[in-house]
Structure formats: structure tokens, C-alpha cells
Structure 1
């Protein structure tokens, strides 16, 4: 267990809904309404614990003004040297806005680049271009950001290794210290679910794209530390590590989740109720050994069995036999003290977890 503590602020507003997105969002062509920021400030005033990390997630948090961001950071009262991350779409930022975010206290900027193919970006419903993403990365460096993150989506319609290579090159040249690379998943309720795009790779092809990405990212100096996350040495995302290491974190905003003191909670998906103060967090349940197992096997460092035992977990003889089979097939490594999945194992992680949970 750890004393580390993070705060997550959900900014649900977006200029447009991407065709693959199933996150809770609200129209935000005019930016983030001040009443919503005021509602976050109201809830933050109830918090008496200084966070080690603060994360502005969305939606599109870069629709906040630097002044709004500064007020929220001040209210959160993060510890010195805290990691403060803000997600951004490349077409939302300007040099002045990025300079303002940096001056407000943001230490880490994360861009949803996704692809270096403009045709692909249009297909996804993204509102930026590859050229615009490159420009935004340049502006972020000039604004003084030493921690710059970029997202890559894999196994998109009509995908190729060449598209991945071009996207990685764009992020490398943009100075990214951290890259998230994840497979497209068509979720219920999305435009892609209602009208599936042509040319989607099958499961085997998607797995090949993932393994190719892991290999190329490693060669480029981005070490994998989580199933979808890669970084230059020492540039891991500290906030998300709180989730995966089952530390305390408090979320604010509709659809935001929390886990404090071993109890999981969430806010209802209702912007107006949150603004009005009529919404309240609802209890989801207690954290269990299975939750710890699920989170730790996302990490390349794997599951420490002694720590798992402190959560009340242990493997049966049958489960250990299954683990040995995973090792024999190259899906895992196990030394009786630590179990961790290989990249090939992470491709079939859900199947492995089904046997272990």
C-alpha cells in the first residue's frame, strides 16, 4: 500500500464527438462554461489532502482557459514537484494558450495525435491534421514543456505498419517523452459501432500491429512499462501509475471515478446535476485482490506475489499449472515471486485474466 494520492478532474466538453469515442462528453464549441469550473472548485474545497498528481482528463481539457486551469490547480493545492497533466487536442491549442497553461502550473501536456494520416484522421472524426499536430508539438516545446505525451491508435481501418512508422516519426520529431499506443476497440454507443468502417483488421492482424508497435517503440527508445504505455527512461506517467498500483485517487466531474481507502465510487453521467450540486458520488464497491491482480498484470513489472498475498490473494495449484502453460507458450514469465506478461501475453491478457480470476 502507498500514501500517494492523485486527483482527476473530468472536463467533458468537446467541439466534436470522435466516431470511436464512448467516453461521456458534452458539446463545448464555446469552451468550458464557468459554472462547470465553479462546480469543480466547489468540490475541490471539500478536499483536505494534497495530491502528488493532478490530471485534467476529458473530453478536451484544453478548452479550459489558462485562468480556469490556474484556479483549479490553486484549489487542488498539489504538493511541490507534483505531476500536473492536461490532455489536449492539437487543433485547440495556440502558442499563447500553451504558454498560459505552463505558467498556470501544468507540467505535462498530452496530445491525442492518433495518426499521421490525414485520411485516417478524417475517418476517425478527428478535427486536426498531421501538420497541425506537428505544429502543436513544436509550440509545446517552445512553451517550456519538458514532458510531452502523444497518443497513437493501432489497427485502424485500412491500417499498415507504414502508417504506424509515420506516426511514431511525427511524435519523435515533436519531442515526445511518452507515447500511449493502443488498439482501436469498437464500443457500443459509438458511431463506429452503429456503422462499422470498412477495412478493420481482424484479431490476428490487430495483434500483429500491436507487437510491431511494441518492437518499434522499444527500438526508438520508448520502453514499455504498461500494456499501452511507453516512455523515455524516467518519464513514466505518475498519475496513471497510481491507478495501476491501486493507490488512492479522487475524481471530480460527471463520469469520474475514485478509489479512496479501498472503496470505489463514481459520479453519475450528468453535467447539469454536477453543476447544480444535486449529484453525489455513488459507491461502486470495495477494492479486492482481483482488482489488484487485474491492475498489476497491466504493468511490465508484473504482479508481486507477496504483495498479492497482503491483498488476500493466492494462486491455486490449478492456476499455477495454467501459469506454467503461459510461460511455455511465451505469454508470461514466472519465478514463483513475480508474474508478468510478455507483450504476446498482453495481447491475450483478457483470456489469461479469465483463468486467474
Structure 2
């Protein structure tokens, strides 16, 4: 069984207006005490031997605010297996060729840039601190620093959005050498600045769906194959870390608000950086991970849910009424089903929640 290790870096320059992830804005770096706290927790989970994860993911916040030497300390402590995918999320304005080269030397072999849009006016609306020019420079610097596995994020259905804005953003990321692209619909989260004061010019849900289908079509046309609801890759560059989540493998998340699932048991750290630093934030148990979770996560993937694997893992089979519903989904163009594997089409992924509600 694969093991994915997630290290949460909650520090960032400023809070983006759509963001409700746990983070501490107003920072220009990651305190050494926080890195020491992560190392403390790593040794707690693996007191006698290193963890040896298959993947290691630095998420945030803004992990590129880490000192590369501290990233090296954390990687050395975890001792990932040979060939492990080691990802660092990065904001374009926080990196230089020198820092990227130092991250590469520390062991990071996959870099993921939060681009979102190629239009500076849109970036300003979103509260992103970088410009399109900085995004282009970051991609070029990453290539010069020796990164081949580069990912870029695009946000869809933004205020006053157009297909032309998507095209420009795709061009920026593709020209930057990205082998992987994550394309997300903007979601207005209640606890975000946008949730408190929604921006003007948001597309309707039907318009957002059209932008999503256009993005899927264009990304496929440019050689980025969809493998998950929001993720697209050139062959062989699918994100291994997130696939562990979606395949219900074991993953360990360390840091405030980080979630884990080990041996079917879920737990998470409280969202309190100060308590984490003081060693007063023990993980909280959060129930188990079972058949429903597996069905939900597998149907995010274009490969779909194998009914044989579903039965083997959980002893579950689809009922007559579930199979009848699946046939209707196929008829409506929302799914493909060959009797063994149920896979949603792009149109089906848009209404995935409704399909899951029926199946569950």
C-alpha cells in the first residue's frame, strides 16, 4: 500500500479573496520553530525508523516561502522512497532561479505554480500578489533550475470570465513547459472574502458549466488528458500524491488543519498554528473511511469505479435500482458503463453531486 505524506505550510504573504484554506497571512518566510515542530511530529509518527513515503507534498499557504535548507531537513527526516514524487506548491512572486535550484537540490522534483489567470486585472480582483509577467518568469526559472515535472493552476468561471481569458492562461502555462494542469471552477466559500462580499460579474451556473466543458475540450486538444474532475496531464505526469487520496490509500498530513487517513482511520490536527508550535495540538480522531468514500472518490476519476474492486474491498454490489439509474445516466450522456466499470463523462462530472446523491 502506498503512503502519501502531506506537510502543511500555513504561512503566506496575503490571503487571496477566494481562499478559505487555513493559513496565516502577513508572513515573509516560515519560522524555524515551525519547521522544528513538523520534524517533532514526523519523529512521533515514526519513532524507530523513517516513514519512507511514496510521495511527499508541501502544501499551503505558500510553501515556497520555506527556506530550501529547511525543505531539505524535512525531506531528509521523511526519507522518501527512491523515485518518490516530491511536490512543492509555489506562488510565482516568491521564487527565483536560485531558490528553485536550491529546492531542486534539496530533493523537490515537482513544482506546482498557482497561476489562476493570465490577466493582471483578474489577478488583482482575486487578491493574487503576482502578475502574469512574474508567472512567465517563474516557469522559465523552473525549467532553467532543472524541473521537468511542472504543474500550473487555472481558475475557471471568474468574474466577467470569457473563453479568451482561458485561452490566454492556457497559453501562458503551456508555453511555460507545464506537463500537468489543474483547472478549477471558482467556488465562493462562505469563510472567504468573496463569501462575505461576492464580486460582481460572476457567471451563472450554466455559464460556469459551459466554461468547464470548453476547458476540458481545449486541454485535451493541447495534449493534457483529463484523469480527474479538475486535473489534466501529459501521459506519465499525473499527480501521484493526489491519486493516493482518490484511490483511498494511506496518507499522513502534518501541520495545523492537516487531515490524514491511515488504515481506514481518519484524524486531523486542530486549525491552530500557535497550539501546534507549543505542542498542544494532538491529532483528533474523525471516524473511518469506507465504501461510500471510495465510491465518491473513484467517480472523481475519468477511469471510474471498478465494481469488481468495490465488491472485493467492501463486499458491496449495485442494487437493481442503482443499475437502472446508471443506465439512465448512460442514456443521458453523463456516464459510460460496460457492466464492470462506471465512469462519468465531463458532462457527468459537472452534475456529479446529483449522481452521487442518487447512488448513495
Interval containing the TM-score (normalised by the shorter chain): over 0.9
Q: Is the 8 A contact 2:185 2:212 kept in 1?
A: yes
CA distance in 1, matches of 2:334, 2:83: 38
Structure 1 segment 8-157 matched on structure 2, within 5 A: 8-48=6-46, 49-157=51-159
Per-residue CA shift, 1:21-78, capped at 9, x if unaligned? Answer: 0100013523001111000000111233310000000000000011110000001111
SS in 2 for 1:46: helix
Following superposition, the deviation at residue 221 of structure 1 comes to 0.3
SS in 2 for 1:187: coil
Aligned counterpart for 1:219 among listed residues 210, 221, 228: 221
Identify the residue that residue 263 of structure 1 maps to in structure 2. Answer: 265
Q: Is the 8 A contact 2:12 2:28 kept in 1?
A: no
Structure 1 segment 227-242 matched on structure 2, within 5 A: 227-242=229-244
Q: 1:54 to 1:142 in 2, by over 3 A?
A: same
CA distance in 2, matches of 1:197, 1:320: 42
Structure 2 gaps, min length 5: none
Q: Is the 8 A contact 2:114 2:152 kept in 1?
A: yes
Q: Is the 8 A contact 1:250 1:257 kept in 2?
A: yes
CA distance in 1, matches of 2:308, 2:26: 47
CA distance in 1, matches of 2:352, 2:308: 22
Identify the residue that residue 355 of structure 1 maps to in structure 2. Answer: 358
Structure 1 segment 257-336 matched on structure 2, within 5 A: 257-309=259-311, 310-336=313-339
Identify the residue that residue 5 of structure 2 maps to in structure 1. Answer: 7
Identify the residue that residue 168 of structure 2 maps to in structure 1. Answer: 166
Q: 1:28 to 1:62 in 2, by over 3 A?
A: farther
Per-residue CA shift, 1:194-225, capped at 9, x if unaligned? Answer: 11111000110000000000000000000000
Identify the residue that residue 191 of structure 2 maps to in structure 1. Answer: 189
CA distance in 2, matches of 1:46, 1:333: 45
Moved more, 46-55 or 196-205: 46-55
Per-residue CA shift, 1:165-185, capped at 9, x if unaligned? Answer: 000000010000000001000
SS in 2 for 1:306: helix
Per-residue CA shift, 1:307-344, capped at 9, x if unaligned? Answer: 11122322111111111111000000111100000000
Q: Is 1:343 aligned to residue 353 of structure 2?
A: no
CA distance in 1, matches of 2:172, 2:149: 16
Q: 1:28 to 1:252 in 2, by over 3 A?
A: farther
CA distance in 1, matches of 2:191, 2:126: 15
CA distance in 1, matches of 2:216, 2:34: 39
Stretches of 4+ moved more than 3 A in 1? none
Structure 1 gaps, min length 5: none
TM-score, structure 1 as length reference? 0.98
Following superposition, the deviation at residue 126 of structure 1 comes to 0.2
Q: Is the 8 A contact 1:290 1:313 kept in 2?
A: no
Moved more, 99-108 or 314-323: 314-323
